[in-house]
Chains A and B, each alone.
Chain A
Amino acid sequence: MEYKRITLFAGHYGSGKTNIALNYALNMKRDGKSVVIADLDIVNPYFRTKDSERELNEAGIKLISSSFASSNIDLPALPQEIYSIVDDKSDYAVMDIGGDDRGAYALGRYADSIVRENNYEMFMVINMYRPLTRDVESTLEVMQEIETACSMKFTAVVNNSNIGEETTAQDVLDSMSYADKVAKASGLPLRLTTVDKKLYNELHEKIENLMPLTLQDKIWR
């Protein structure tokens, strides 16, 4: 797979950005790249990239994350180290942006440098089964709000339509026309469709550019 030097994942909150960013960074690493992942999420208090710190360390991926992430305080501060992503061009970087326009504001301060370097992919992650992005119109609305907030434009769409553990292959197939429509209406390519790896075999011949995701184990039933 061809990678841009910086890959950004943004979208509606709860659309699956963090999980996809994590899997994407691990794939990049497996493809032999030197990878840094940065958590720019200043919105979400729980379920952060930080929770996967050990896994990332073991894979040899550097994590840049607020020292307050997954702590007992919700301080929307970002570490200055994030600037190293735009200043040091020798590493590939994956950036996990917070949900909605509110999350995307944090990206604004790096936007100039990223756009100037002009070697980035900015993914809009979409999920048709999220109640506030059920249709094309509301999804495009969220998309525009994010672009305005961060002063950057999306370059591609990732379809991550799922309803959690109950997702069936059919649910994913049912979302494809929605994803195609969002892509078409926004003038962007549908670059990836992401599914729980359990569904990958059933779907990989039916959906182009399908990417399996390894998801975190839960301690509750």
Chain B
Amino acid sequence: MSEKVLMKGNEAIAEAAILAGCHHYFGYPITPQTEVAAYMAKRMPKIGGTFLQAESEVSAINMVIGVASTGKRVMTSSSSPGVSLKAEGISYLAGCDLPAVVVNVQRGGPGLGGIQPSQSDYFQSVKGGGHGDYHNIVLAPASVQEMASLTFKAFDLADKYSMVSMILADGTMGQMMEPVSLDAGEVNTYEKPWALTGTNCERKHNIVNSLYLKPEALDQKNFERYEKYKTIEENEVMYEEYLMDDAEICVVSFGITARVAKNAINEARAKGVKVGMIRPITLWPFPKKVLNEAADKCKAFISVEMSMGQMIEDIELAIRCKKPVYLCNRVGGMIPTPEEVLAKIDEVNENGGAF
């Protein structure tokens, strides 16, 4: 009998979180991520965990801060407008150096936008989103299997570096159903001497706080934090290369659009066009090195996104603007079709390489 089960992406995130040892979840329903909350509502009582539907996203993220302060694994999830509401709390988590997992199953924007899939929270996710100098680790799954495996990874990285890991998915990833194997492997545990677990009169009080009375101390803290970010950029970059060995055109795409692009790349290859793909799995840290190396071999890049081209800026920075970067995109809840991506590949193949 198959060990795999058939899951929606949203359910895979929820179950993977539980298997990773997350027994506390706070959320508020919003399409297209509501199944995360619905699944948690069913499962958490059965394992003695906490599911709580807060009265708002703001409330939920503050509950996350509370549990994270105690050193327990904790998660919240939402979709684009809801994540904007959580931005303040995410900044506080960063300022307190607290580990937590935040899931964003993106929908169209700005504003209320729409419920159909989108990738237009790219800037919000990789550049911070809230106030202050900080980063989140941002993971971009491209299959239901990765919704699970990157959730395991997100909890591990959050604890390892004491910071927020974000799963940046899109509505299609959340809603689509695919086979998934739920093997968490070995779950690492990390010492958390800072956790608020009660002193038992045996140690000094721990304080979790993001307020620094002395500007010198806050200055120093920010520099320290950026040393940590540097380590992460050196050690935690993840990406997938697809047919890049002899590629002259490099498609860059993540999440569901990478899956569509793969379809188009296969068709272009069948016609003899030398095209490949670099799929960032971590959006922060961004796979700068491999892209920069590709820029020495390829004549042009194509960013395939469901945004107005937000990732282009990171690609151009990564390749030091050595080669042109073209855009193939749909927004507002539309997904680019393989035909649209193929047409762009053909166009760039014929005319690309020159600014």
Contact = CB atoms under 8 A, between A and B. Distances in A.
B42 A220 contact: no
Contacts of A127: 6
For B32, B179, B266, the residue with the greatest tally of chain A CB atoms inside 10 Å of its CB is B179
Contacts of A3: none
B11 A131 contact: yes
Interface string A37-79: 0000000111100000000000000000000000111100000
A35 B179 CA distance: 33
B31 A163 contact: no
A73 B32 contact: no
Contact of A221 (B114, B115, B172, B263): B263
A130 B263 contact: no
Given A14-B6, A72-B114, A129-B5, A166 B179 contact: yes
A219 interface: yes
A130 B114 contact: no
Interface in A13-46: 13-14, 44-46
A122 B159 CA distance: 49
B337 interface: yes
Interface string A165-196: 11110010010000000000000000000000
Interface in A106-163: 127, 129-132, 134, 162-163
B109 to A, nearest CB: 11
B259 A72 contact: no
Nearest to A44: B175
A45 B31 CA distance: 7
Interface in B1-54: 1-2, 4-8, 11, 15, 31-32, 35, 39, 42
Given A220-B262, A221-B259, A221-B266, A131 B15 contact: yes
B242 to A, nearest CB: 10
A130 B266 CA distance: 32
A164 B6 contact: yes
A220 B5 contact: no
Contact of B115 (A45, A130, A168): A45
B338 interface: yes
B332 interface: yes
A134 B5 CA distance: 9
Interface in B167-223: 171-172, 175-179, 182
B21 to A, nearest CB: 18
Interface string B314-355: 000000000000000000110101100000000000000000
Interface string A189-221: 000000000000000000000000000000111
Contacts of B62: none
A117 to B, nearest CB: 33
A163 B114 contact: no
Interface residues of B, number: 39
Contacts of A174: 1-2
Nearest to B14: A131
A220 B2 contact: no
A35 B1 CA distance: 38
A160 B189 CA distance: 40
B252 interface: no
Contacts of A45: 31-32, 115, 171, 175
Nearest to A15: B6
A220 B259 contact: yes
For A164, A167, A171, the residue with the greatest tally of chain B CB atoms inside 10 Å of its CB is A164
Nearest to B32: A45
A92 B96 CA distance: 62
Contacts of A165: 178-179
Contact of B338 (A46, A134, A219): A219
A107 B73 CA distance: 40
Contacts of A162: 6
A175 B35 CA distance: 25
Contact of B31 (A74, A132, A167, A219): A74
A151 to B, nearest CB: 22
B132 interface: no
A27 B1 CA distance: 31
Contact of B108 (A72, A163, A221): A72
A219 B337 contact: yes
A162 B11 CA distance: 17
B59 interface: no
Contacts of A132: 39, 42
B116 A72 contact: yes
Contacts of A163: 2, 4-6, 179
Contacts of A134: 5
A95 B182 CA distance: 34
Given A47-B176, A73-B114, A219-B263, 4 more contacts: A72-B114, A131-B182, A163-B2, A219-B338
10 contacts: A13-B35, A14-B7, A14-B8, A14-B177, A45-B32, A46-B175, A73-B114, A74-B115, A130-B7, A171-B1
Interface of A: 13-14, 44-47, 71-74, 127, 129-132, 134, 162-168, 171, 174, 219-221
Interface of B: 1-2, 4-8, 11, 15, 31-32, 35, 39, 42, 108, 113-117, 171-172, 175-179, 182, 256, 259-260, 262-263, 266, 332-333, 335, 337-338
